[in-house]
Amino acid sequence: MTLNLASKKDWIAAAAEPLVREFETPLYVYSRERIESAYEAYAAAFAPAPHRICYALKANSSLALLKVLASKGAGADIVSGGELRQALRAGFRPEDIVFSGVGKTDEELALGLERGIGEFNVESESELRRLSALAASRGARAFVTLRVNPDVDPKSHPYISTGLRENKFGVPIEEAARILREARAMPGLEVSGVQCHIGSQLRDLGPATEAVKAIASLSRMLLGEGFALRTIDIGGGLGVDYDGTGAPAPTDLAALVLPQIKDLGLKLLLEPGRSLIAAAGALLTRVVAMKTNGARRFVITDAGMNDLLRPSLYSAYHHIENLSRGEETPLIQADIVGPVCESGDFFAKDRAIREPREGDLLVILDAGAYSFSMASNYNFRPRAAEVLLLGAVPRLIRRRETFEDLTGAEIE
Ligand SMILES: *Cc1c(COP(=O)(O)O)cnc(C)c1O
């Protein structure tokens, strides 16, 4: 199922010029409808089973977007104390929050206990012991899901693969039962279930199915041993169709997962990030300069790798269109690059694009996930503004940073 890549821009093309006239570039634009419909697709796909969709905040943790998801009934998957506080601020209920992460500090665990979050996705025996001590000393109970590493290759980019034995995440699945038997005896802990998350941008669901099969069978065994499990958490990772070659839908995932867990009687937890938010966002950027070096043409934009790191970090593909030119303009092959002083600062290499002139407006699509949330101030560049479209009505949800924002924490 190949999507027409050009149609990716349809939701934003008409709104773009007026938006950048008002808010300038680079500019992140999101659509509330597109976030809501992505959430609804998940909710409908998994409706046959008791479940909670816990949005992974790290994909994009901007408050206004979180409020959209919280108001739809989503839970939250967090990986730091900061994300915990942001999730609560956005209105997610503490009991609908799961706390993941391989290096939670005592401070972060304590914050989770104090706020009464739903589950701790524990990733090591050390964390279990620390969580037990912290919970016991507060007279609190921590619900624990053990993150297991099922040793499957998600066939994604190595930097976003997490379920192989050599990765730092989780505990080897063969050790999970022993660790949970020990956990059951530790004060302050309630063993709630097992979790896995094998990686991100999964486009082949074979490995995910294998992983779910493995944790379902582990859960079955634990239930047989008398563990009072409540949940089974299959993580996130569903891929997005960045390049028009197709990606699985929540219904595809549900069709593979639901039959495996049906008999367990557990509540299914999902932790999607990218697949809820990526296609709901775009990055608008103006062409600062055109140049040719030898045989290579360059389109230089006012957005850079500090605004959108994914192409530099993972060689990720984002579809890009020139919104200022129509079909009468010839396509050229060019590198589309930012102004940052790094050769790795590019959005696309040798890409076909309607020949831009300086000042043209480009849109970088599917930039809702792992884009703003990975933005930095590298090269002393303020982070871009963010706008949320409510239908046709734009709302500024984060102002552009100023020079003073960048210098404010410095001590002379
Ligand atoms: C990053 C992450 C997710 C979300 O992954 P996506 O690919 O954005 O769906 C879910 N769970 C955990 C533990 C993660 O680290």
pLDDT tens readout for residues 273-294: 999 999 999 999 999 999 999 9
- Band (157; pLDDT cuts 50, 70, 90): confident
| 86 Cβ inside 6 Å of ligand 1 | no
What backbone torsions phi and psi does residue 205 show, to the nearest 5 degrees?
A: -85, 0
CA distance 217 to 173: 11
Q: DSSP characters for 92-129?
A: --GGGEEE--TT--HHHHHHHHHHT-SEEEE-SHHHHH
User: Residue 1's pLDDT is what?
Assistant: 39
Answer for the pair 308, 42: CB distance below 8 angstroms, yes or no.
no
Rounded to the nearest angstrom, the distance between the alpha carbon of 198 and the centre of ligand 1 is 9
- 3-state SS, residue 159: helix
Which residue lies with its CA nearest to atom 13 of ligand 1? 100
For a substitution probing ligand 1, which of 168, 271, 314, 374 has the most ligand atoms within 8 Å of its CB? 271
Of 73-87, 140-154, 209-223, 278-292, the poorest mean pLDDT is in: 140-154
Could you say which of 185, 341, 393, 409 is catalytic?
A: 341
Q: What is the pLDDT of residues 242-271, one digit of tens each?
A: 999 999 999 999 999 999 999 999 999 999
Total Cβ atoms within 10 A of residue 390:
12
Residues of the chain with CATH 2.40.37.10: 5-28+278-407
Q: What is the pLDDT of residues 332-371, one digit of tens each?
A: 999 999 999 999 999 999 999 999 999 999 999 999 999 9
Strand partners, 209: none
Q: What is the pLDDT of residues 122-146, one digit of tens each?
A: 999 999 999 999 999 999 999 999 9
Answer for the pair 306, 268: CB distance below 8 angstroms, yes or no.
no
| 272 Cβ inside 6 Å of ligand 1 | yes
What's the Cα-to-Cα distance from 332 to each of 180, 296, 323, 357, 363, rounded to whole Å?
A: 59, 11, 15, 12, 16
Mean residue pLDDT of the chain comes to: 96
Q: What is the DSSP letter of 243?
A: S
CA distance 9 to 262: 39
Residue 3 has pLDDT above 70, yes or no: no
341 is catalytic: yes
Residue 227 has pLDDT above 90, yes or no: yes
Q: DSSP characters for 354-399?
A: E---TT-EEEE-S-SSSSGGG---GGGPPPPEEEEEETTEEEEEEP
Rounded to the nearest angstrom, the distance between the alpha carbon of 66 and the centre of ligand 1 is 15
- 3-state SS, residue 270: strand
Helices within 190-304 (DSSP H only): 206-224, 250-261, 274-277
Domain 32-274: assigned CATH number: 3.20.20.10
- Angle value at C-alpha 277, between 399 and 361, nearest 5 degrees: 55
Please give the average per-residue pLDDT across 179-188, as a whole number.
97
For a substitution probing ligand 1, which of 77, 83, 194 has the most ligand atoms within 8 Å of its CB? 77
Give the global pTM.
Answer: 0.96
CA distance 412 to 211: 52
- Per CATH, the homologous superfamily of domain 5-28+278-407 is Lyase, Ornithine Decarboxylase; Chain A, domain 1 (2.40.37.10)
Rounded to the nearest angstrom, the distance between the alpha carbon of 205 and the centre of ligand 1 is 15
Helix or strand (DSSP H, E) at 164: none
Amino acid at site 106: D
CA distance 391 to 13: 14
CA distance 349 to 352: 9
Amino acid at site 218: L
Cα radius of gyration (the chain): 22
Q: Residue 76: CB partners within 8 Å, gap ≥ 6?
A: 54, 55, 57, 66, 70, 83, 87, 90, 92, 96, 97, 98
Answer for the pair 222, 183: CB distance below 8 angstroms, yes or no.
no
Residue (of 305, 311, 308, 299) closest to 360 by Cα position: 299
- Band (151; pLDDT cuts 50, 70, 90): confident
Answer for the pair 266, 193: CB distance below 8 angstroms, yes or no.
yes
Q: Rounded to a whole number, what is the largest CA-CA distance in the chain?
A: 72
Residues of the chain with CATH 3.20.20.10: 32-274
Amino acid at site 325: R
| 235 Cβ inside 6 Å of ligand 1 | yes
